[in-house]
Amino acid sequence: MSAIGTSWARIDGAEKVRGSAPYAYEHVTDAVYLWPITATVARGRVSAMDTAAAESADGVLLVLTIENAPRLADTSDGDLTILQSPEITYRGQLIGAVVAEHPEVARQAAAMVEVTYDQAPHDTEFRVDHPDSYRPEQVNGGFEPNSEQGEPDRVLASPPTGTTQIDQWYSTPEEHNNPMEPHTVVATWDPDAPLLTLYDSTQSTQGVVSTLAPVLGIEPEHMRVIAPHVGGGFGSKGSPHSHDVLAAMAAMRLPGRAVKFAVPRQHMFLYVGHRAPTSSRLRIAADSDGNITALVHEAHTHSAHAKEFAEQAAVSSRMMYTAPHRRTDHHLVPLDVPPPFWMRAPGEAPGMFAGEVAMDELAHAVGIDPIDLRIRNEPAEDPETGKPWSSRQLVDCLREGAERFGWDRRRAEPGTHREGRYLVGFGVAASTYPHMVNPGNEALIRYQDGRYTVRIAATDIGTGAWTTLTLIAADALGIPPEQVHLEIGDSALPSATVAGGSSGTSSWGSAIVTAAHQFRARFGNDPADGAELSAEAADNPDLEKFTAASFGAHFVEAHVDVDTGEIRIPRMLGVFSIGRAINPRTVRSQLIGGMAFGISMALHEESVRDPRFGHVVTQDLAEYHIPVHADIADVDAIWLDDPDEHATPMGSRGAGEIGIVGSAAAVVNAVFNATGVRVRDLPVRLDDLL
């Protein structure tokens, strides 16, 4: 019997459809309401906050300002340090809050607080040649900022005869995480226990505890975070942000009251993180057969004065293709903007947009098929470390996809395939995402009355963890899924790491498998009622021996209206190598969701920051464009049958974000094939094509 590999319907599906699955805001009915006050200058100091009118408004319970806020115990994290000084480092920074009996009163009273500023000149304009640009000590993911093998500069400067070179810049705009459920927190402080309870929309309940407890100056065991259901994570919920601090401060001033703070949609563009804009320069040299001889990827992006974050956009170029001479580098421009953070495949998504469009340009310049170019430069082992791949089936993904997609119908010469009013093009791009398994995961299993309760502080951010972990437990215990009772989404449960970095299922699942095997070894197949055991995930030495990453290939058909430049994407296919699919139904959903993100990144999303005032003007879903159903036509994802026993005991690899990576490049490459117009700056606009 194997529960893994069955397309089990979501355990939480019916509850969600009926509206009975509680999201953060829906917990606790007897609550009070917080409305935030945000800075309206991008740099300077608050000189005064006049709260008299707000305080006398009916139903106002508390007006928090930079003058009366509780002192934080640890102010080392600039993202979380609010209301501690009059200093403003970005427009939209939280500088106060009103809490009232009713949300309308809180909002109205917050507007009555008169704030005056000593405004200082600000700079929110990202440019590569900014005088303050610097190389960070580390980039996101803990990677070195730069790498070099061979002599790429020499090879690029004096290429042998017959070399083709491309040297181009690619850019992605600032973008904002916009899960369907914005960040939300309900905070209650019980001073007698003492206990701070947060119902928080988060990707990691225990991450919120371990990050916020020292900031608030309380012991981690005096804090509990609960998140049974989360309406999308998108990366920004991978860490608590300043809104959590604000709600906790208010709750601690109003003991016993539940303080609700639903971050308004427009504030999703202010203080919960964003993807910084990126500019990547790609230089690639290849011989006349398309063998890459040198590859240089320099990535530039912005960061914040409040806190450094470096989008690791060039890291994937270290291991995608064979290139004896290779260099990658990262540079950051610190600006008066909010701290950037994780967003939907940070690093890989913008970096592989640049890298995979560059590969398409190289294929065109050399005059070979873009699939052939990638196959020709497929590395037998990790070119950066020399380690073997745990499994790398990129070539199979490309071939399988080409066959299924009808790649042979693609015209190599761009702009030559017209159907009615549309120019038709096919595009391809490769994808990768690292396989990450976090240490420190532990699962508890208890048998009672014919059921096995499995406890772990995992979080389901809408991706299917409730169901997937149930299948993993059933499989490892050798029982039907109906006999598993899973408990997740609560920091009080055994240790678990974040639902982020595509590491959740791998990390939590490994702990569940270890615990299940130990449970069976100790208690056998017929345990007594009350049999219970908890175990940490067993070490997996293979993760040191091999480079483990997921791979994939995206295929896109683009139609471009010859008169208006309108772009339609009638077909998109992703073929992935992700190890064993634990729940085909939910993994397919995750993959096609990522591919829709790719269409969105290619054609729609852009946060426009007004340099005069320093804020994002496209601050709602009317102006921050995302695709609607009519924009997403036939999108399908499949995967190879290639269990990876090196990666996890389930044979699976990380699959959460790989659907995103490379997908925007495939769209742009298809648009080029349709029109002959090469767009290097996202999003593609109609006027780019006219």
- Which residues contact ligand MOS (rule: CB under 6 A)? 203, 233, 235, 238, 342-346, 500-501, 657
The Cα 239–Cα 602 span in angstroms is 27
DSSP E strand stretches across 11-77:
31-38, 44-50, 60-65
Element (H, E) at 405: helix 394-405
Half-sphere exposure of residue 470, counting CA atoms within 13 Å on the CB side? 24
Burial of residue 532 (number of CB atoms within 10 Å: 0-12, 13-18, 19+): middle
Minimum distance, C-beta of residue 92 to ligand MOS, in the bound complex (Å): 21
Half-sphere exposure of residue 310, counting CA atoms within 13 Å on the CB side? 24
The Cα 108–Cα 102 span in angstroms is 10
Among 500, 386, 501, smallest CA distance to 435 is for: 501
Minimum distance, C-beta of residue 227 to ligand MOS, in the bound complex (Å): 14
The residues near 257 (Cβ < 8 Å, ≥ 6 apart) are: 31, 32, 61, 188, 251
DSSP classification of residue 42: S
Residue whose pair of structure tokens reads 């096995």 in the numeric block: 452
Choice between 41 and 212, CB closer to ligand MOS: 212
Which residue's CB comes closest to ligand MOS? 235
Among 215, 225, 276, smallest CA distance to 246 is for: 215
The Cα 618–Cα 174 span in angstroms is 11
Among 268, 272, 302, smallest CA distance to 626 is for: 268
Choice between 203 and 377, CB closer to ligand MOS: 203
Minimum distance, C-beta of residue 64 to ligand MOS, in the bound complex (Å): 30
Residue 82: both structure tokens together: 């609010």
Q: Cβ distance 281 to 330 under 8 Å?
A: no
- Strands 223-226 and 195-200, how do they pair? parallel
- Catalytic site residue from 311, 442, 557, 657: 657
Region class of 376: left (phi > 0), else alpha (psi between -120 and 50), else beta: alpha
Choice between 340 and 501, CB closer to ligand MOS: 501
User: Is 657 a residue of the active site?
Assistant: yes
Choice between 113 and 591, CB closer to ligand MOS: 591
The Cα 504–Cα 469 span in angstroms is 10
Minimum distance, C-beta of residue 625 to ligand MOS, in the bound complex (Å): 20
Buried-exposed string 491-528: b where 16+ CB fall within 10 A, e elsewhere: bebbbbbbbbbbbbbbbbbbbbbbbbebbbeeeeeebe
Minimum distance, C-beta of residue 536 to ligand MOS, in the bound complex (Å): 23
Element (H, E) at 473: helix 465-477
Choice between 303 and 459, CB closer to ligand MOS: 459
Q: Cβ distance 203 to 300 under 8 Å?
A: no
Partnered with residue 329 across adjacent β-strands are 298
| CA 411 vs CA 18, 206, 358, 565, 688: distances in Å | 49, 53, 19, 20, 22
Minimum distance, C-beta of residue 311 to ligand MOS, in the bound complex (Å): 11
Minimum distance, C-beta of residue 229 to ligand MOS, in the bound complex (Å): 17
Choice between 277 and 614, CB closer to ligand MOS: 277
Choice between 346 and 351, CB closer to ligand MOS: 346
Question: Counting every residue, how long is the chain?
Answer: 690
Among 453, 465, 549, 543, smallest CA distance to 499 is for: 465
Choice between 342 and 405, CB closer to ligand MOS: 342
Minimum distance, C-beta of residue 160 to ligand MOS, in the bound complex (Å): 41
Among 338, 351, 323, 213, smallest CA distance to 271 is for: 338
Choice between 200 and 369, CB closer to ligand MOS: 200
Choice between 54 and 345, CB closer to ligand MOS: 345
Number of Cβ within 10 Å of residue 47's Cβ equals 11
Choice between 43 and 344, CB closer to ligand MOS: 344
Minimum distance, C-beta of residue 203 to ligand MOS, in the bound complex (Å): 6
Minimum distance, C-beta of residue 414 to ligand MOS, in the bound complex (Å): 33
Q: Cβ distance 666 to 598 under 8 Å?
A: yes
Listed in sequence order, the DSSP H helices in 264-347 are: none
Residue 117: both structure tokens together: 């500023």
Q: Catalytic amino acids?
A: 657
